[in-house]
Amino acid sequence: MPNHTIPKATISESKAPDLIFVGGGPVDIPQLTKWRGQSRFVAVDGGLNWLMDAGIQPETVLGDMDSADPGHVATCRAAGIPIQDISDQNSTDLEKALTHYPDGVVIGFGFLDGRLDHTLAALHALMRVDGAERVLLIGAHDALMISKRQACFSLPESARLSVWPLGQIRFHDSQGLIWPLDGLEMEIGVQTGTSNRAIGGDIIISPDTASSGAYALLVEASDWQALYAIVSSSKSAGG
């Protein structure tokens, strides 16, 4: 195997994400305020309610406006904040936001918890847009990203890591996992990689070069920095 540079991130050393998307699902307000003044906040429909309650002014409000409080929408209009009222029901609000902002590192809150169908819709949105490797979703229990490429990152010993196929994908090999992925072909309903564990230290997950499928990486929400190191170094993050 060639040498790999494992990206590492800590709260104090990490560059703030370019964009914070806030959806309508449950949100931890202190997490949002961590990047106040450093990142640009985007209210994704009902996420406007969380931002207004936290006293954070979004730069844009996006979505079909079926969940955002009308009073908050009116307040934003009066303040000159752009309101992108997109009524297209063939795309989710997260997909609308990612299409509107095609570049930059994104951390999303309010997309993983609450209703299961909304969580599945968030995964659907990540699969539909180009450059989804630049997006990290953080919930109360999990942090999630998707990729079609090799992933290099670090986790502490015994940290939980799930590798979930999004379609059919074959892995060439892996390093740093208690249960290796070497030669495994995964597909929902056939084989998945729920609740693997880190040996401790560097992890490398390498899909087969002939495989075109995507996979999701899920870690404990407290280990979000491991995945943030990947998304912040992604070529699809742009500028």
- Which pLDDT does position 3 carry in this prediction? 43
Span 7-52, pLDDT tens digits: 444 434 468 899 999 999 999 888 888 888 899 999 999 999 999 9
- Which pLDDT does position 17 carry in this prediction? 92
90 or 156: which leads in pLDDT: 156
Long-range contacts at 9-13 (CB < 8 A, ≥ 24 apart): 9/225, 9/226, 9/228, 9/229, 9/232, 10/225, 11/225
Instruction: Give the domains, in start order, of the chain with CATH numbers.
Output: 19-237 (3.40.50.10240)
Q: With left for phi above 0 and alpha for psi between -120 and 50, is residue 114 left, alpha or beta?
A: left
- Which pLDDT does position 64 carry in this prediction? 83
